[in-house]
Amino acid sequence: MDLSILNDLKLTKVAVSKIDTFDFENVKFGEKFTDHMLICEYKNGEWGPVEIKPYAPITLDPSARVFHYGQAIFEGMKAYKDENDDVWMFRPDQNFERFNKSAVRLAMPVIDETRFIGGLRELLKVEKAWVRKGLGNSLYIRPFMIATESGVIASPSNEFIFCILLSPAKSYYSGKIKVQIADYYSRAANGGIGAAKASGNYSAQFYPTKLAQEAGFNQVIWTDSTHTHLEESGTMNVFFRINNTLYTAPTSDRILDGVTRKSLIALGEHLGYDIKIEPVQVDTIVNAAKNGTLKEIFGAGTAAVVNQIEGFAYKDDYYQLPDVSDKDSYALQLKEALTKLQNKLSDDPFNWTTKL
């Protein structure tokens, strides 16, 4: 990491912090932000200096390429504070690497580790008081990049903005959800951008999800273009437990390489779970639901960590999953193990946590 890059860091602090009037107990996920943000511009073939300044709107030309051709990527991360008031990041190297993979796929410039992780460290130092300790509390981190060059010609932008926002978060839990397995719409295709954390991936999901919600379901489990294999659940990776074996699909052009997903796999193996990473057929899950061997389905992602699924619909049939006690639930065991590790309430045998 070339720390000399950060010697030019420009820091402008707010005159008065809003932290004393902030309701940390009733914050809704992703709605409110801290006092400051990080911003860095790409022009003339290179990244400029890093700036930390008061959170404020960004002014763009109406013809900025992001509005017309969707060159936009982002990441989702979290920071935690332990009982000694030390702040920890969770696997930031994985988000940094995936961010640049997304950038390459969308013909955007990669960003160096110093500006991404080094800049994030500096921003977290400024906003350290916004990270609240206690299991369930965290600071959500949203790095993103957008194309800013003006002009509506259909070509990649030559100018970009990289930005990091911070948002206090409480434990995210909406209860068990009901899902619908997609048999018409697809999230992604081979050779597409499903493995990139591109903004367009999410906007394309909104309409089919809206239809599922109108039918009485919370989310969609996405299938491949042939609708024979299960891939992701909503905006999360998805796991299936048949008897005492946990299945999840391998990553591909269509499936995001989720940091929570890979962490749960490693944790599960460490705990002695039988985990198989292989294509998961719709028929396999439907048949397992019919014969009673399907015990659990759950999504895995940064915001919720784990989201349990109580049942699913496929075509005209609905399948209710059995009630598994909390102590026997793989979903809850894994969630507890990961959140304790992230909050420094248990050992970290993988060295995933990085001290600020």
Q: pLDDT digits over 115-140, tens only?
A: 999 999 999 999 999 999 999 899 99
Beta carbons within 10 angstroms of residue 214's beta carbon: 8
When pLDDT is averaged across residues 69-96 and rounded to a whole number, the result is 97
* CA-closest candidate to residue 40, choices 165, 164, 198: 164
Greater model confidence, 324 or 4 = 324
Identify the bridge partners of residue 178 per DSSP, sorted by sequence position: 311
Q: Give pLDDT, residue 264.
A: 98
> How would you classify the pairing of strands 10-11 and 177-181?
unpaired
* Residue 69: per-residue pLDDT: 97
Whole-model pTM: value is 0.95
Nearest to 123 by CA among 91, 90, 166: 166
Percentage with pLDDT > 90 across the chain: 91
Q: One fold for both 3-169 and 177-342? A: no
In this prediction, residue 7 has a pLDDT band, given cuts at 50, 70 and 90, of confident
Position 185 pLDDT exceeds 90: yes
Q: Residue 173 has what pLDDT?
A: 62
Largest CA distance in the chain: 64
Percent of the chain with pLDDT over 70: 99
* CATH architecture for the domain at 3-169: 2-Layer Sandwich (3.30)
Q: What is the pLDDT of residues 160-183, one digit of tens each?
A: 999 999 999 987 666 899 999 999
**What pLDDT sits at residue 2?**
75
- Share the mean pLDDT of the chain: 95
Asked if 141 and 176 count as a contact pair (C-beta separation under 8 A), the reply is no
Across the range 13-28, mean pLDDT stands at 94
Q: Is the pLDDT confidence value at 57 over 90?
A: yes
pLDDT at 1: 73
CATH architecture label of 177-342? Alpha-Beta Barrel (3.20)
Given this model, what pLDDT does residue 174 score? 66
d(CA 75, CA 66): 17
Kindly report, residue by residue over 264-317, the tens digit of the pLDDT. 999 999 999 999 999 999 999 999 999 999 999 999 999 889 999 999 999 999
Residue 4: predicted pLDDT: 75
Question: Can you give the chain as a three-state secondary structure string?
Answer: CCHHHHHHCEECCCCCCCHHHCCCCCCCCCCCCCCEEEEEEEECCEECCCEEEECCCCCCCCCCHHHHHCCEEECCEEEEECCCCCEEEECHHHHHHHHHHHHHHCCCCCCCHHHHHHHHHHHHHHCHHHCCECCCCEEEEEEEEEECCCCCCCCCCCCEEEEEEEEEECCCCCCCEEEEECCCCCCCCCCCCCCCCEHHHHHHHHHHHHHHHHCCCCEEEEECCCCCEEEEECCEEEEEEECCEEEECCCCCCCCCCHHHHHHHHHHHHCCCEEEECCEEHHHHHHHHHHCCEEEEEEEECCCEEEEEEEEEECCEEEECCCCCHHHCHHHHHHHHHHHHHCCCCCCCCCCEEEC
Q: What's the confidence (pLDDT) of residue 171?
A: 75
| Number of other CB atoms surrounding residue 356 within 10 Å | 15
User: In the chain, what are the domain boundaries?
Assistant: 3-169, 177-342
53 touches 123 (CB < 8 A): no
Chain centroid to Cα 1, Å, comes to 25
